[in-house]
Amino acid sequence: MGHGFRKELIYMLLELRPQFLRFPGISHHDEVDTIIIEPFVKDVLDSLEFARGSAESTWGSVRSAMGHPERFPLKYVAIGNEDCGKEFYRGNYLKFYDAIRKAYPDIQMISNCDGSSRPLDHPADLYDFHVYTSAANLFIMKNKFDRTSRIGPKVFVSEYAVNEQRDAGKGSLLASLAEAAFLTGLEKNSDVVQMASYAPLFVNDNDSTLVPPALLLFISNVLVGHNWNPDAIVFNSWQQYGTPSYWVQTYFRESSGSVIHPITISSRYSDSLAASAITWQDSEDIFLRVKIVNFGPNAVNLTISSRGLQDGVNTAKSTVTVLTSGNFLDENSFSEPNKARQPLFPSQVVPVESELPNAAEVMEAVLPPFSFTSFDLALDQYSKLVAEM
C-alpha cells in the first residue's frame, strides 16, 4: 500500500476511521525574529504549492514528476506548535497567516493560542488546545467547553490524554475512562469543538525515540516512542495490541456528522457519571447511541430517558457494549492483548457487545464500577423523531 505499516496495524488504524493526517513539528526553544522570517514563509508557500499546486506549477510539477499529478486535499495548517506566548510568535504568525490566506483562501488556519477563556488577539479559523493531566482532572474537564464563546474561532483539541504515571501506567482502564468522559464533553460541545486528537497513537515497544506523524479522528492522534505513556496502539516487529484508550476511540467512530440528542439520566451517583447521546446510522438502520462513563467504584443503577422516540425502539437490533475490567489499573499487553475487555472475566480490557432486550425510550440500566457503556437503540420511527426534535 506504500505506507510502510504492517497490514495488522493498518487494520487497527482503519477501525478508528481517521479523518486525515497530522504532521506536528516541535522546537520549544529556538525562535526567529519577525524581521527575518520571510525565507521561512516562502518555504511554507513552496511546500503548500507542492501539495496543492497544479501539475504545471513550479512545485506542483515536482509532485507530478514523483507520480502524483493529483493535488493533495490539504485543508488545514497549524502555525507553530505550543509556541503561543513566545516573543516573536504573534508577529511571525501574522506573516504566515497573511501569506497563506492570500495564496490559499480556503485553507483553515490554526493558532497555537488557547481561545477558550479569552478572545485571541489575532485572526484564526481554529485554535489549538492541549491537555495532559491526571485521570481525575481530565474527568472534571468534561465540562471544559460548556461556557466557551460560540463566536469566533472553533476549537481543535489536538493533543489530550491522561499521562500521570500513577493513573496511566502504560495504558490503564482508569486513564481511558477519564478520556472517554472528556470526549463526551467534546461531543456535546461539537458546535464549538471542531476536531480532537488523542495523543499518542502509536508506540514501538522496542523504541524510545520520538516520531512525529499523527492520525487525526473526530473526534486522532500523535506518534511517539515508549518514553511517553500511555499510547493507543503498541507494536513490535510481529505483534500489536490496543490499550484501553484505543478501544475508547472506537466508541466515537460514528460521532462525526451525527446529531446530538437530548437525554436525561437519573442516578444517586450522578457526580461520577459522564454521558452524551447521538443519533447515527449505518447502511441499514438508524440508532440512538447513549454513552455513559461510570468513573466511580460502585455499580450504578440508573434510569435513561430519551425524548421524542415515540416507542420507536427495535429491541431485536438494539445492543449494549461495555468496556471494563476487574481492576481500574488493568492494562493490556502482548501476552494478554484483551485483558481489559470482558466484564465477566477479570483476567481479560476491550469492549464486549451483547443484546439489549429492555431497550426503550425510558429504561433501567446498571453500570459496572469503572466502566464505559454504550447503549445503541435501533430506531423504527426515525422520521417521527426528526419531526419532533
Q: Which helix (H) or strand (E) holds 384?
A: helix 382-388
Element (H, E) at 43: helix 38-52
Catalytic residue from among 15, 82, 336, 361? 82
Task: Collapse the DSSP code of 314 into the 3-class scheme (helix H, G, I; strand E, B; otherwise coil) and give the result.
Answer: strand
Count of beta carbons in the 10 Å neighbourhood of residue 169: 18
Is the link from the previous residue into 230 a cis peptide, with omega within 30 of 0?
yes
Where would I find the H helices in the chain?
7-15, 38-52, 58-65, 89-103, 135-140, 165-168, 173-188, 244-250, 382-388
- Quote the cell numbers at residue 39: 525565507
Is 82 a residue of the active site? yes
- Nearest Cα to 250, choosing from 193, 176, 314, 194? 176
Could you say which DSSP state residue 309 is in?
A: -
Q: Which of 134, 351, 362, 383 is closest to 252 using CA atoms?
A: 351
- Catalytic residue numbers read 82
